[in-house]
């Protein structure tokens, strides 16, 4: 059993949701995907929210959801790729959790997101790889604030889950749960 949350952040297509779901299953704890909570609450897809209500509205709802889910304990939480841009979101997530940033090569991200119809920041782009590189560069300072970082470019989901299990067993802030993990 884990006491603190394990929070996955990182760019689109780095594997946050699939990894979070498998990790939660391995640890036998709840899995929360903040995008899924937003979609359910707004009753529309992410891309539709961006289109109809705008990105600023999406970010406001995202912050409310993050504040709520951050109060839980012992869960695996997967956040949207832009969540950590707002410092208050990262502070809330760190209050009860260990934040792990998943990264991947831009070409791998492009491959993994190319069929997605629900990523508005990439949908309209005429040069997706350039957009990916640009946003990654802009967000690098925020992603670097994570407690740990894992490059999933050459990882299966199982590999990434194993790497996270290793981190939480060794993490000094997590040690208190070592016997329980
Ligand atoms: C976003 C990433 C998306 C979703 C929205 C905004 C971003 O989540 O929250 O499209 O700003 O990078 P995923 O990272 O799960 O695709």
Query: Which pLDDT tens digits describe the chain residue by residue (181 residues)?
Result: 678 999 999 999 999 999 999 999 999 999 999 999 999 999 999 999 999 999 999 999 999 999 999 999 999 999 999 999 999 999 999 999 999 999 999 999 999 998 888 888 887 788 999 999 999 999 999 999 999 999 999 999 999 999 999 999 987 666 555 454 4
Q: At what angle do helices 128-143 and 106-113 cross, to 10 degrees?
A: 120
Determine if ligand 1 sits within 6 Å of the CB of residue 65: no
Determine if ligand 1 sits within 6 Å of the CB of residue 33: no
* Distance from the alpha carbon of residue 90 to the mean position of ligand 1, in angstroms: 15
Nearest CA to ligand 1 atom 11: 82
178 located within any domain: no
* Distance from the alpha carbon of residue 72 to the mean position of ligand 1, in angstroms: 22
Closest by CA to 80, choosing from 146, 11, 141, 145, is 11
pLDDT of residue 116: 87
Closest by CA to 166, choosing from 180, 152, 178, 153, is 178
117 located within any domain: yes
97 located within any domain: yes
E strand or H helix at 9: strand 5-10
176 located within any domain: no
Which domain, by its residues, includes 10? 5-163
Contact 87, 19 (CB under 8 A): no
142 located within any domain: yes
Burial of 38 (0-12, 13-18, 19+ CB in 10 A): buried
pTM, 2 dp: 0.93
Determine if ligand 1 sits within 6 Å of the CB of residue 132: no
The total of structural domains in the chain comes to: 1
Determine if ligand 1 sits within 6 Å of the CB of residue 139: no
173 located within any domain: no
Counting atoms of ligand 1 from 1, which one is nearest the CA of 16?
Answer: 15
pLDDT of residue 163: 97
pLDDT of residue 174: 63
* Distance from the alpha carbon of residue 148 to the mean position of ligand 1, in angstroms: 20
181 located within any domain: no
Nearest CA to ligand 1 atom 9: 80
Counting atoms of ligand 1 from 1, which one is nearest the CA of 85?
Answer: 11
Q: Residue 101: what are its φ and ψ, rounded to 5°?
A: -95, 125
pLDDT of residue 151: 98
- Tell how many helices (H) and how many strands (E) occur in the chain: 9, 5
> CA triplet 180, 70, 150: central angle to 5 degrees?
65
Which CATH number characterizes residue 36's domain? 3.40.50.300
69 located within any domain: yes
pLDDT of residue 145: 97
pLDDT of residue 88: 97
């Amino acid at each position: 059993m884990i006491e603190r949350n394990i929070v996955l952040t990182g760019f689109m297509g780095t594997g946050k949701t699939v990894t979070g779901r498998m990790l939660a299953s391995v640890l036998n704890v709840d899995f929360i995907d903040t995008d899924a909570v937003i979609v359910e609450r707004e009753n529309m897809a992410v891309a539709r929210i961006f289109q109809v209500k705008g990105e600023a509205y999406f970010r406001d709802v995202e912050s409310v959801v993050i504040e709520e889910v951050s109060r839980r304990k012992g869960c695996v939480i997967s956040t949207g790729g832009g969540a950590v841009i707002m410092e208050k979101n990262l502070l809330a997530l760190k209050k009860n959790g260990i934040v792990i940033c998943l990264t991947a090569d831009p070409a791998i991200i492009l491959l993994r997101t190319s069929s997605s119809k629900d990523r508005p920041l990439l949908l309209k782009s005429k040069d997706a790889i350039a957009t990916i590189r640009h946003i990654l560069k802009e967000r690098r300072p925020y992603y670097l604030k994570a407690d740990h970082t894992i490059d999933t470019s050459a990882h299966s989901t199982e590999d990434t889950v194993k790497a996270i299990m290793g981190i939480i067993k060794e993490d000094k802030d997590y040690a208190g749960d070592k016997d329980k993990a």
